[in-house]
């Protein structure tokens, strides 16, 4: 008879805080707040238990948090520390089971099948009268203790849940500290008293269930599935499946990505970029074939050049999205290598690609079609090759009141989400869009009665038929970047509307934006 599946969930609460404490053990036990945002809008993204006792909560502004908790230690979020902590969590789990599923940086699932021989009790540990159920519980407890000890040794405070499904194991880890084992057949009794909020339902679903008086998972699990589908749709039935302890996706084992490396020893010395590009083209074609066999793309390329004097030059090129199209990768490498000066000619090359999965895009019948991740990644790669990687990304406001203080940041995390929301908002009807010129267009402006009367600039020419302004702004008077502007909105005879700016320090006019 096939044994019932058993899974363990290894979860690190307050992961951003735990990563900082792991990096700096002196922070242990102190009230700590992890901040994110610009210096002017810094807010708490996560707080330690000691800070939470003093009233510090996620989403709270930094100044309010400091006022509530004198002596609070504030640190900016450290992505590198979190990346290291996520790797340490995987290492701790790999010491117990080779079959892992990395659900999130702070959460790892383990398939416990086949571990009985490793963690099963010795003959003298269990009385002969002990049944199979007792033996299985002892094995689960030993595995849980092993996982808790391993994570503590790598500097992470983790909770462990063990159950017959990943959903139940997750709730066991999140609702109690230490090691929690849900025995076979005990999932329903364990889940029944837990609040519905444990499943993090969407706000409208939570509101509907609250109106119905459904507050516990046992009450949600007992509802008729057909009626729930009719009233709340598929989201409601998925939530009910989780309330019954069912997993909504199969277990996909995590496989440590092995880098793809292609190397060549040259029969001649390379001294020019064109010759280097010729060699790189062959290496990239072979790398692309290997990545395609894995169903992966490259998230970074590392080039190691062996020089004729015995030295080696190493440089790493991070990519905006997983890519494997050789021409795009070659264009990115050429852009990165332009201006490179080496002490000696190149006699050997090695190119390493860091692989990452290319997830398929599931089509939705009720939303407009979207580009595939591969096509989007290749397009972003080509744009980066044309204009530079530092000029491709999501718009980000700088920490300044200067009107043109807009920069670019990478498409990651909440920044990408906010950029997507802003882009969708621009598609709403009857909304005026202001597109800024970068850099602004130098202009000659004729002024009559203290107002712009005519504009002459590249692609912008004509008399002003209507204008609004001026709006005067100034700032950073204490630094060399001091500025003082006078801005006008002007409509020209051809129907176009532009934003003009007068630099009051130099008297120079520019066309800074156009309205669509």
Q: How far apart are CA 134 and CA 126, in angstroms?
A: 9
Q: Which of 242, 271, 407, 284 is nearest to 343 (CA)?
A: 271
Q: What percent of the chain is modeled with pLDDT above 90?
A: 22
Tell me which of 138, 153, 181 is where a domain ends. 181
List the single range of 154-163, 257-266, 294-303, 414-423 with lowest mean pLDDT: 414-423
Which pLDDT score, from 0 to 100, does residue 371 have? 62
Query: How many domains does the chain divide into?
Result: 5
Shared domain for 235 and 203, answered yes or no, is yes
Q: Which of 73, 68, 78 is nearest to 48 (CA)?
A: 73
Q: Which of 467, 318, 441 is nearest to 384 (CA)?
A: 318
Q: How far apart are CA 343 and CA 251, in angstroms?
A: 51
Considering the domain boundaries, does residue 372 fall inside one?
Answer: no
Q: How far apart are CA 139 and CA 122, in angstroms?
A: 11
Taking only the tens place, the pLDDT of each residue in 338-382 is 777 888 888 888 888 888 776 555 555 666 666 665 566 667 766
Q: How far apart are CA 52 and CA 13, in angstroms?
A: 13
Q: What are phi and psi of 52, to 5 degrees?
A: -65, -35
Shared domain for 268 and 238, answered yes or no, is no
Shared domain for 11 and 97, answered yes or no, is yes
Tell me which of 307, 337, 357 is where a domain ends. 357
Give the pair of three-digit tokens for residue 209: 């269930």
Considering the domain boundaries, does residue 275 fall inside one?
Answer: yes
Shared domain for 91 and 120, answered yes or no, is yes
Q: Where are the alpha helices (DSSP H) in 319-372?
A: 326-337
* C-alpha distance from residue 88 to each of 12, 108, 353 (Å): 11, 11, 22
Considering the domain boundaries, does residue 373 fall inside one?
Answer: no
Residue-number span of the structural domain to which 196 is assigned? 192-243
Considering the domain boundaries, does residue 370 fall inside one?
Answer: no
* C-alpha distance from residue 326 to each of 331, 380, 381 (Å): 9, 14, 11
Shared domain for 22 and 164, answered yes or no, is yes
What average pLDDT does this structure show over 493-510? 87
Shared domain for 161 and 46, answered yes or no, is yes
Which pLDDT score, from 0 to 100, does residue 121 have? 59
Residue 105 vs residue 365, higher pLDDT? 105
Q: Which of 276, 344, 341, 279 is nearest to 310 (CA)?
A: 344
CATH number for the domain spanning 51: value is 3.40.1170.60
What average pLDDT does this structure show over 272-289? 85
Considering the domain boundaries, does residue 25 fall inside one?
Answer: yes
CATH number for the domain spanning 198: value is 1.10.150
User: Is residue 513 classed as helix, strand or coil in its secondary structure?
Assistant: strand
Shared domain for 208 and 289, answered yes or no, is no
Considering the domain boundaries, does residue 186 fall inside one?
Answer: no
* Cis amide bond preceding 276, omega within 30: no
Tell me which of 357, 378, 411 is where a domain ends. 357
Shared domain for 154 and 67, answered yes or no, is yes
Residue 130 has pLDDT above 70, yes or no: no
Give the pair of three-digit tokens for residue 296: 């992966």
User: Is residue 2 classed as helix, strand or coil in its secondary structure?
Assistant: coil
Residue 195 vs residue 367, higher pLDDT? 195
Taking only the tens place, the pLDDT of each residue in 233-254 is 899 999 999 999 999 888 888 8
Considering the domain boundaries, does residue 376 fall inside one?
Answer: no
Q: Which of 207-221, 324-338, 400-414, 423-437 has the highest mean pLDDT?
A: 207-221
- What is the pLDDT confidence band of residue 129, given thresholds at 50, 70 and 90? very low
- Cα angle 421, 422, 427 (rounded to 5 degrees) comes to 95
Shared domain for 101 and 149, answered yes or no, is yes
Shared domain for 11 and 135, answered yes or no, is yes
Give the pair of three-digit tokens for residue 303: 């080039």
Which pLDDT score, from 0 to 100, does residue 467 have? 87
Residue 159 has pLDDT above 90, yes or no: yes
List the single range of 61-70, 177-186, 333-342 with lowest mean pLDDT: 333-342
Q: What percent of the chain is modeled with pLDDT above 70?
A: 86
Q: Tell how strand 100-104 and strand 107-111 pair up.
A: antiparallel
The residue with tokens 């038929």 is: 465
Shared domain for 334 and 439, answered yes or no, is no
Residue 179 has pLDDT above 70, yes or no: yes
Q: Which of 256, 276, 255 is nearest to 264 (CA)?
A: 276
Averaged confidence pLDDT in the chain: 82
Taking only the tens place, the pLDDT of each residue in 406-432 is 777 766 544 444 444 444 444 444 457
- What is the pLDDT confidence band of residue 91, given thresholds at 50, 70 and 90? confident
What average pLDDT does this structure show over 260-275? 81
Residue 202 has pLDDT above 50, yes or no: yes
Considering the domain boundaries, does residue 388 fall inside one?
Answer: no
Residue 55 vs residue 424, higher pLDDT? 55
Shared domain for 11 and 154, answered yes or no, is yes
Q: How many CB atoms lie within 10 A of CB 457?
A: 18
User: Is residue 255 classed as helix, strand or coil in its secondary structure?
Assistant: coil
List the single range of 322-331, 383-392, 441-450 with lowest mean pLDDT: 383-392
Helix (H) or strand (E) holding 294: helix 273-294
What average pLDDT does this structure show over 294-323? 84
Taking only the tens place, the pLDDT of each residue in 426-444 is 444 445 778 888 788 898 9
User: Is residue 271 classed as helix, strand or coil in its secondary structure?
Assistant: coil
CATH number for the domain spanning 287: value is 3.30.1490.100
Residue 108 has pLDDT above 90, yes or no: yes
What average pLDDT does this structure show over 10-17? 92
């Amino acid at each position: 008879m096939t044994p019932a599946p058993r899974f363990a969930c290894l979860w690190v609460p307050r992961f951003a805080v735990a990563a900082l404490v792991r990096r700096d053990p002196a922070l242990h036990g102190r009230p700590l707040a992890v901040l994110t945002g610009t210096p002017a809008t810094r807010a708490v993204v996560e707080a330690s238990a000691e800070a939470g006792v003093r009233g510090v909560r996620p989403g709270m502004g930094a100044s309010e948090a400091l006022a509530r908790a004198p002596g609070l230690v504030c640190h900016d979020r450290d992505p590198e520390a979190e990346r290291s902590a996520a790797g340490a969590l995987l290492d701790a789990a790999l010491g117990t089971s080779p079959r892992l599923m990395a659900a999130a940086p702070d959460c790892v699932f383990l398939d416990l099948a086949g571990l009985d021989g490793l963690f099963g009790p010795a003959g003298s540990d269990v009385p002969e009268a002990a049944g199979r159920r007792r033996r299985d519980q002892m094995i689960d407890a030993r595995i849980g203790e092993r996982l808790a000890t391993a994570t503590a040794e790598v500097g992470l405070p983790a909770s462990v849940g063990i159950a017959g499904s990943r959903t139940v194991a997750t709730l066991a880890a999140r609702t109690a500290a230490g090691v929690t084992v849900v025995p076979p057949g005990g999932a329903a009794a364990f889940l029944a008293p837990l609040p519905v909020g444990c499943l993090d339902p969407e706000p409208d679903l939570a509101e509907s269930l609250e109106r119905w008086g459904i507050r516990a998972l046992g009450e949600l699990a007992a509802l008729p599935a057909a009626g729930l589908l009719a009233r709340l749709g598929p989201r409601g039935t998925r939530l009910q499946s989780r309330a019954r302890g069912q997993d909504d996706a199969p277990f996909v084992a995590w496989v440590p990505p092995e880098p793809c490396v292609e190397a060549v020893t040259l029969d001649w010395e390379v001294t020019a970029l064109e010759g280097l590009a010729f060699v790189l083209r062959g290496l990239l074609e072979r790398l692309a074939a290997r990545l395609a066999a894995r169903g992966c793309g490259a998230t970074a390329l590392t080039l190691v050049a062996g020089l004729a004097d015995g030295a080696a030059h190493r440089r790493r090129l991070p990519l905006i999205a997983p890519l494997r199209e050789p021409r795009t990768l070659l264009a990115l490498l050429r852009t990165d290598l332009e201006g490179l000066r080496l002490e000696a000619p190149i006699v050997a090359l090695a190119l390493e690609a860091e692989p990452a999965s290319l997830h398929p895009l599931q089509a939705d019948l009720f939303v407009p079609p979207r580009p595939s991740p591969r096509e989007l990644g290749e397009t972003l790669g080509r744009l980066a090759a044309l204009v530079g990687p530092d000029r491709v990304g999501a718009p980000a406001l700088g920490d300044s009141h200067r009107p043109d203080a807009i920069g670019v940041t990478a498409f990651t995390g909440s920044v990408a989400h906010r950029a997507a929301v802003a882009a969708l908002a621009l598609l709403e009807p009857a909304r005026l869009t202001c597109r800024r010129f970068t850099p602004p267009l130098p202009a000659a402006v004729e002024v009559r009665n203290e107002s712009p009367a005519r504009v002459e600039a590249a692609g912008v020419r004509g008399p002003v038929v209507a204008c609004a302004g001026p709006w005067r702004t100034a700032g950073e008077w204490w630094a060399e970047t001091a500025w003082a502007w006078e801005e006008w909105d002007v409509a020209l005879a051809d129907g176009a509307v532009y934003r003009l700016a007068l630099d009051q320090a130099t008297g120079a006019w520019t066309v800074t934006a156009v309205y669509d």
